[in-house]
Structure 1
Amino acid sequence: MRTLTRYILRLHVAPFLFSAIGLTVLLLLDQVSKRFDKLIGKALHWSVIAEVFVYSIPFILAQTLPMAVLIAVLYVFSRLEGDFEVTAIKASGIPLSRVMAPVLVCGVLLAGTMTWFNDTILPQSNHHLQVLLTGIGLKKPTFNLREQTVNAVLPSRLYVHPGTIDQDSSSIEDVRIYDERNGQQSRTIYAARGKMAFSEGGEDLYFDLEDGVVQVRPNGRTHAFRRIAFERMTLRVPDVGNSLERDTLGAVRGDREMNIADMRVEADLGFAMAQAARAESAVYAREITSQLLNFMQSLEAGGEKEIALVDEATVRVETIAGAGEGAAEGEAEAAAPDSATLVAESAARRFYTAFDAATQFQSYEDRELSGLRRNNQFLVEIHKKGTIPVACIVFVLIGAPIAVRFPRGGVALVVGVSLAFFGAYYVSLIGGEELADRLWVSPLFAMWAPNILFGIFGVVALARSTRVTR
């Protein structure tokens, strides 16, 4: 049995390595084609460009290793059945499941290694890549300008909207510039054409504009307005910077740049946000109900009894609320922190019309949905770190029975089945993520349903191939 185990594993090594390297190179070339035009022309050292693609490899590997497992299993078991080796092994009383056992064990080990890799190495590489790309993008903002788009040259201070851009001559046409650098006034510049250039030191950006107008609006006087026409104008934007900054993002990380522990904290914050909004909504509903009851009773009593009845109704509503702590409203009140209760009560005191109440309830609902979406977003990424590695095991269960059932498929079988299952698996994974982000299904079900469905298919296929007789 040890001889058979070593033989099966030895046959898988070369196809697996070849598939993993080949798929990684193909996807890396795709990244090169997408980013190459954004990297050239920035006077970057070749090592910086190489660093961009090195940091892209871990993310690609996380996708290609499960694919390589399926390709290797399909190829090896198709070859074994084509040479009647599986038939000979079955004739010796060894079932197909025993032949698959070494590969399954390796799949489990690979899944565990990938889970660790996705939680430790991958977030760091994604973060370094994002920081590096952001620094490169800030090195020369002119190369990041997009046509027919408002581009932030200095965020919150200067925006450029070019109609057309000629990258070779750094010229622009039909350009609009929104200048908010002066806190006392806002300027909007329209020009038919112009050119962009950096100073010799590379720190300042210059716009040489022609045939345009400048519209100036003082911020303190909303009705004041000036319009100045010009034939030629030079606009200097100092301190834009032309140096590669590697710490642009600092400690700010996206969901794919965090490990499981960090994402769990963010998910809990989202859930707490939703709970706080739900609790405030319950307190607000209780308070405006109390006000309406007081108002109706005061109308019925009228005159001198109005104040007494208002006080009595207030005491009665507070007593009912305090006695109902075990009910749903009491639970919502208990879940709300003191600050949330005070905020809701303050909002209730500003209640005058049904429209005010509807607007406030809509605000609470929006906050709750925002918190739940944030919670689901990070939970999806948490489960995804385990879902994709487990696909290595699922693809072993799928690949071996299919290859045994169709031994004459050859390369066409490997390519066709691989593409079909890769496409179906990742489409279902992306679809589940979208459903979870929309709060239609739970992140747990959305991310693990593909593995469960494909795993059941593999087990059924294995059982049927075991009963096949020749």
Structure 2
Amino acid sequence: MKKIHSLILQAFIKPFMVTFFIVMFVLLMLFLFKYIDDLIGKGFQWYVILELLSYQAAVQLTMALPLSMLLSSIMTFGNLGESYELVAIKAAGVSLRKAMTPLFIVVGLFSAGSFIFSDYILPVVNLKMGSLLYDVRKKKADFLIKPGVFNNTIPGYSIRAKSKNEEGTVLYDLMIYEHATGGSANNVIFAKEGYIQNSADNKYMLLELKDGVRYEDSNVKDAKRYDPRQQFTRFRFKETTQKFDMESFQMGNTDKELFKDHHQMLNLRQLRHYSDSNRVSLDSVAKINSVESKRYINFFANYYQENKPKTINTKIKLADIEQEYMRRSAISNALSQARQIKENADLRMNDYQFFAEKDIRYDIEWHRKFTLAVSCLLLFGIGAPLGAIIRKGGLGLPVVMAIIFFLIYHVIATISEKAAKDASLTPMWGMWMAIIVLTPLAIFLTYKSTSDSALFDAEQYKNKAEAIWKKVVGLFNKKKDKATLSS
């Protein structure tokens, strides 16, 4: 028995590791394609890209682990079935269920580890990745001069060079416009040559200009109005240095405290705490709206009651008011109060919807912590019996079957989660819908694999179809014979 278990474990671990790294590589490439515009041309150091990819690899674990579990289980039992090793195991008196026992233990450990990961590690990773990705997307592209084209990336300046050297550090025939007042170009610099270098702290770009002239408009009172007596100043220089602030080109370090209360950055204990606080706010908005509405109704009832008793009758009728002018006044005031109540309710509605959406997101994230672990067990429960049934190894048919079933799971999970976010489904049903739908399929496939059913045998279905066709033709011929005899 131990040798059989060791054989099955060895047959499972290798495909699992291979498929896991392949799936992770594909998902990381999709991430790079998605954010390629935010990464190219900004001069990031290699360790920034590596840090971002490492965080993304941890985030994509929630998708890579179930998919690799499904694919590797199909490949493992497909290889064992194709090489008739499953037949040998059953001939030795070991049922498929007993042979799969060590794999269920291993997958159970993976599921428990994924739950711990999603509860303790994933929120921290989401927090760090969210802040880093925010800084990456906010950073401007590197300063780059193209010959003959004005560059406006530095705030307050427009720079153009007719040509530059191969390294791009020396610019020729420079023209620099300064927009100091935010309006028209007040100062202009021309230079035959300019050498670019960064300051020691990389906060400034230094442009050493040679053989040039600087034109300045002095005493500018109104840039929109022409003044023929406006003063004009010209400076000639052999060498001068122009300093440009490059702070907007540096990647900032956003405070992670800004993102810490996001639902994806919280563990189970924090989700419960924030969810309780959010529901208190949600209830307070509803109570405030209810109290204000009752205050208007009580005021109206008290105003039109005769003798004004201590107990207010909120069911007063219009017919109880005898004077005609009082009835008209009551109708006018009632319409005014109804509009006021509606306006107050509309104002409160935005706050109520905000807290209601946060409550849904907290519940969805709470259930997500558990669905990752259960999805690993479910997809293994589908993949292992499916591989034993199709009895095909390698990366051909198993990959096709794995993609089909994973797409079914992913589509159901995505649609139901979106429905939960839109409040069409409760968060519990939205997050567990895919598991609930596919669990009977896993049970059915397990039953078919233990009973040696040829579920995907095309010859079997062909024979059954021929038998059904013969039976239909036979019934048709009998009816035809009866009709002939009766005539």
Q: How would you bin the TM-score normalised by the shorter chain?
A: 0.5 to 0.7
Match for residue 283 of structure 1 among 291, 310, 320 = 291
Match in the other structure for 1:439: 423
1:294 and 2:302 equivalent? Answer: yes
5 Å matches for 1:331-370? Answer: 352-370=336-354
The number of residues matched between the two structures is: 362
1:415 and 2:411 equivalent? Answer: no
1:141–1:378 CA distance, 2 compared to 1 (3 A)? farther
1:411 aligned counterpart, secondary structure: coil
User: Is the 2:82–2:393 Cα contact (8 Å) retained in structure 1?
Assistant: no
Q: Deviations over 1:86-109 (max 9, x none)?
A: 233334443322222221111111
Q: Distance in 2 between matches of 1:39 and 1:433?
A: 30
1:267 and 2:293 equivalent? Answer: no
1:57–1:246 CA distance, 2 compared to 1 (3 A)? same
User: Is the 1:383–1:443 Cα contact (8 Å) retained in structure 2?
Assistant: yes
Q: Distance in 2 between matches of 1:91 and 1:464?
A: 18
Match for residue 427 of structure 1 among 398, 411, 424 = 411
1:373–1:351 CA distance, 2 compared to 1 (3 A)? farther
1:289–1:244 CA distance, 2 compared to 1 (3 A)? same
TM-score by length of 2: 0.65
1:363–1:100 CA distance, 2 compared to 1 (3 A)? farther
Q: Distance in 1 between matches of 2:16 and 2:108?
A: 15
Q: Distance in 1 between matches of 2:35 and 2:442?
A: 39
Q: Distance in 2 between matches of 1:140 and 1:469?
A: 61
Larger Rg computed on CA atoms? 2
Structure 2 counterpart of 1:29, one-letter code: M
Q: Deviations over 1:227-247 (max 9, x none)?
A: 679xxxxxx997854433324
User: Is the 1:270–1:373 Cα contact (8 Å) retained in structure 2?
Assistant: no
Match in the other structure for 2:191: none
1:48 and 2:38 equivalent? Answer: no
User: Is the 1:115–1:385 Cα contact (8 Å) retained in structure 2?
Assistant: yes
**CA offset at residue 199 of structure 1?**
11
Q: Distance in 2 between matches of 1:428 and 1:408?
A: 27
Match in the other structure for 1:164: none
Structure 2 counterpart of 1:261, one-letter code: R
1:108 and 2:83 equivalent? Answer: no
**CA offset at residue 292 of structure 1?**
2.4
1:244 and 2:251 equivalent? Answer: yes
**CA offset at residue 384 of structure 1?**
1.1
Q: Distance in 2 between matches of 1:237 and 1:252?
A: 32
Match in the other structure for 2:372: 388
**CA offset at residue 25 of structure 1?**
1.2
Q: Deviations over 1:318-366 (max 9, x none)?
A: 9xxxxxxxxxxxxxxxxxxxxxxxxxxxxxx999432211122233344
User: Is the 1:351–1:357 Cα contact (8 Å) retained in structure 2?
Assistant: no
**Structure 2: 5+ residue runs without aligned partners?**
144-152, 156-167, 169-180, 185-195, 206-221, 227-242, 315-332, 455-487
1:242–1:296 CA distance, 2 compared to 1 (3 A)? same
1:275 aligned counterpart, secondary structure: helix
Match in the other structure for 2:390: 406
Structure 2 counterpart of 1:246, one-letter code: N
Structure 1 counterpart of 2:417, one-letter code: E
1:25 and 2:25 equivalent? Answer: yes
Q: Distance in 2 between matches of 1:141 and 1:408?
A: 51
1:246 aligned counterpart, secondary structure: coil
**CA offset at residue 382 of structure 1?**
1.9
Q: Deviations over 1:358-416 (max 9, x none)?
A: 12223334433322211110211121122122211001111122222222475332111
TM-score by length of 1: 0.67
Q: Distance in 2 between matches of 1:459 and 1:142?
A: 57
Q: Deviations over 1:106-137 (max 9, x none)?
A: 11110110111112222222222222233334
**CA offset at residue 283 of structure 1?**
1.7
Identity value in percent: 22
1:317–1:104 CA distance, 2 compared to 1 (3 A)? farther
User: Is the 2:183–2:223 Cα contact (8 Å) retained in structure 1?
Assistant: no
1:397–1:130 CA distance, 2 compared to 1 (3 A)? same
**Structure 1: 5+ residue runs without aligned partners?**
144-152, 159-168, 170-181, 190-197, 206-224, 230-235, 302-307, 319-348
Q: Distance in 2 between matches of 1:228 and 1:451?
A: 72
Match in the other structure for 1:57: 57
**CA offset at residue 60 of structure 1?**
1.8
Match in the other structure for 1:2: 2
Structure 2 counterpart of 1:292, one-letter code: F
